[in-house]
Amino acid sequence: MRILSAATALPANYYPQKVLIDAFRKYWGGRLDRFDVLERLHAATQVDGRYLALPLESYPQANWGDSNNSWIEASLQLGEEAVAKVMKAAQVAAEHIGAFFFVSITGVCSPSIEGRLINRMNLSQRMKRIPIFGLGCVAGAAGISRAADYVKAYPKQACLLLSVELCSLTVQPDDLSAANLISTGLFGDGAAAVMIAGSEYEGGGGPEIVDTRSTFYRNTEDVMGWDISGKGFKIVLSREVPEVVLKNLGHDADQFLADNGLSRKDIKSWVIHTGGPKVLEATEKALCLPAKSLDASWQCLRKTGNLSSASVLFVLEEVMKNRRPEPGTWGILAAMGPGFCSELVLLKW
């Protein structure tokens, strides 16, 4: 099993953080007692700017239905772009793709996005469709793991993973909670696609997927997720997220690596979800990583913010295109998300 290629797509609407802060100042006005608090929270995210699905003047949408319709339209556009890029990079024809996995946490539709793209892009009618909802930030890594499970069963096939996350369309404009204020400065919009091939697939190259590991942490449902109401998705984002990372990630990684006859010192490449500065710092501490080990993740965070499930796939693309390790290098791809849970993927470059 191996990853043949990764490709990303971003909306046309890019705004520096200062422009977004000014927009919130205009919208919230006197409803936010201390606007300097929001400015400090946004500065703490260390995000330079973000790409938004819609032009800034189009927010907020009238209701959840309007926001979700915008999510469908933008998901199809960005999804088509990312899928076309990854198919071209992997040199995989549509008839050779056996399954299409789609992950997102920022909108819903039926038929789901991958089904609509099969029509829109004239992809194979015989593709197996696997839409996955609810995994949030962990879904990019989990999608790779589930795709690896598929090509393990069908080693002559390739399969496609697509993540589209349009976090701006979930922002609750009248929610002045700390969680929502942080999310308005951290989360952005984007799409990413990955092509995964079985061990008997002919053609292409890329890092080998050696093993995967899913871990669920009991009684942590309130750490991260959504409360869903008539107004749409309301962010649940606890201060405990970095603590959960510190408490669990190092042990999880050590056990996973030991089961594969390895230890942390053998890992020279880290592809980590861009959860935010505190999450990345907790990851560095939990894994006792040398300086600059997560430079690719920090760079993606500054450029696009947290893109939920797509983030780790943006980091993967950056590493594959610009920071590819030497052949034979061991690597870990990892993300954590609602559940609370983690997903680890052992790679050999």
Residue that wins the pLDDT comparison between 71 and 176: 71
Q: What is the pLDDT of residue 10?
A: 98
SS3 188: coil
Nearest CA to 105 out of 269, 236, 294, 284 is that of 236
* Residues sharing a CB contact under 8 Å with residue 151, sequence separation 6 or more, in sequence order: 1, 98, 157, 158, 159, 196, 197, 198, 199, 201
pLDDT digits 0-9 by tens, 41-58: 899 999 999 999 999 999
The CA–CA distances, whole Å, from 222 to 135, 175, 233, 245 equal: 14, 18, 15, 15
Q: What is the pLDDT of residue 22?
A: 92
Q: What is the pLDDT of residue 284?
A: 96
For the annotated catalytic residues, the residue numbers are 137
Is the predicted pLDDT of residue 38 greater than 90, yes or no?
Answer: no
Q: What is the mean pLDDT of the chain?
A: 93
pLDDT digits 0-9 by tens, 232-257: 888 877 888 889 999 999 999 999 99
Sorted by where each starts, the structural domains of the chain and their CATH numbers stand as 2-197 (3.40.47.10), 208-348 (3.40.47.10)
Is the predicted pLDDT of residue 7 greater than 90, yes or no?
Answer: yes
Q: What is the pLDDT of residue 225?
A: 79
